[in-house]
Amino acid sequence: MSSNRSRRGDEPVHWPLHLFVIFILILTIYPILWVLAIAFSGSQSLAIADLPAHATALDRLRAIAPWPKHFSAENFRSVFADQPFARWLLNSVVVAAMTTLLGVFLACTSAYAFSRFRFPARRAGLMAFLVSQMFPGTLMLIPLYIIIVKWLGLGSTFTGLVLIYTVTAIPFCVWMMKGYFDTIPKELEESALIDGASQATIFFRIVLPLAKPAVAVTALFSFMTAWNEFIQAATLMDRVDKYTVPVGLRFFVGGFTQQWGYFAAGSIVAAIPVMALFLFLQKYLVSGLTAGAVKG
């Protein structure tokens, strides 16, 4: 049927498009393949193959192909056994989970207020959130250090880091959630109000379940903010046992050591939780949950 159609010429030929997509795909996954190759090479070198003095074309090709000489899980074993990587991973999980919980809770509640209630300085508050996003994070490094370490005495603590990540993530999350709350029909809440629901019941039993897609995105964003952040963590955490994963990874290739194998293995392990979270939240990242509420 389809071959008939293409022979008739009323459908464009697909293979150039496929070639193009394959090319882009290789371009995209090539760096990731390199990381994988280094991680499984069992060595600490950035290069997988050494180029001989008189390299043939095949040697050169081998040097750029992300395929290690030997496969070994030694780097993975070693980051956990010989290095405090498990500890850092745990630290990151604690910080990111706390940031997600606190961030999502604060973002949901404040976004609902911004969406539904009219109060003085509502617009100013929303604008302030937006304006705060204009400044790069590094600009906040010194003021945050002064506030967290000097004033609050929370240097090298998870609480300090969670506080920073939460307030960094909140503006985006609030805007995101507010945008979603705005699309939930007001009649639903009025109907619940007449049904006898309190404001809290309406929020937790009607609005929040309908806002699941937005909550999922917000949670993912908060988690990733905390999980990937390096500069603040590096500044705030001055004890090795308090490092988060990004700071710990940097430790492998900082100063006198060049342990790229550990670095690659560690970054692959670090990527797994985010990927898992993505897959888990995927089913909520669908829109159209409000379909059927009101005639559309």
Partner 1 sequence: MAEVTLKGIKKAYGPVTVIPHFDLDIQDHEFMVLVGPSGCGKSTALRMIAGLEEITGGTIEIGGRVVNDVPPKDRDIAMVFQSYALYPHMTVRENMEFGLKIRKTPREEMNRRVNEAAQILGITEFLDRKPKQLSGGQRQRVALGRAIVRKPAVFLFDEPLSNLDAKLRVQTRAEISKLQKTLKTTTVYVTHDQIEAMTMGDRIAVMKTGELQQVGSPLEVYDRPSNLFVAGFIGTPPMNFIPATVTTGGDAVAASGFTLPVPAASRAATAQRTGQKVVLGIRPENIREAPRDPGDAAVPITVKVEFVEPLGHEVIVHGRVGDDLLVAKVEPHRAPKMGEEVRLVIEVEASHLFDTATEKRLGDN
Binding site for partner 1 (CB under 8 A): 185, 187-188, 190-197, 201, 206, 209-210, 289-295
Those residues with Cβ within 8 angstroms of residue 259's Cβ, 6 or more apart along the chain or in another chain: 44, 252, 253
**Closer Cβ to partner 1, 9 or 292, answer by number:** 292
Query: What CA–CA distance (Å, rounded) separates 20 from 188?
Result: 48
Contact 211, 177 (CB under 8 A): yes
Least Å from the CB of residue 280 to partner 1: 19
Least Å from the CB of residue 187 to partner 1: 4
**Closer Cβ to partner 1, 156 or 201, answer by number:** 201
Least Å from the CB of residue 109 to partner 1: 20
**Closer Cβ to partner 1, 211 or 277, answer by number:** 211
**Closer Cβ to partner 1, 163 or 192, answer by number:** 192
Q: Which residue has the tokens 């459908």?
A: 11
> Smallest Cα–Cα separation from 40: which of 79, 96, 88?
79
Least Å from the CB of residue 211 to partner 1: 10
Tokens of 12: 């464009």
Contact 202, 190 (CB under 8 A): no
Contact 166, 152 (CB under 8 A): no
**Closer Cβ to partner 1, 37 or 188, answer by number:** 188
Is the torsion defined by CA of 54, 56, 57, 61 positive or negative?
Answer: negative
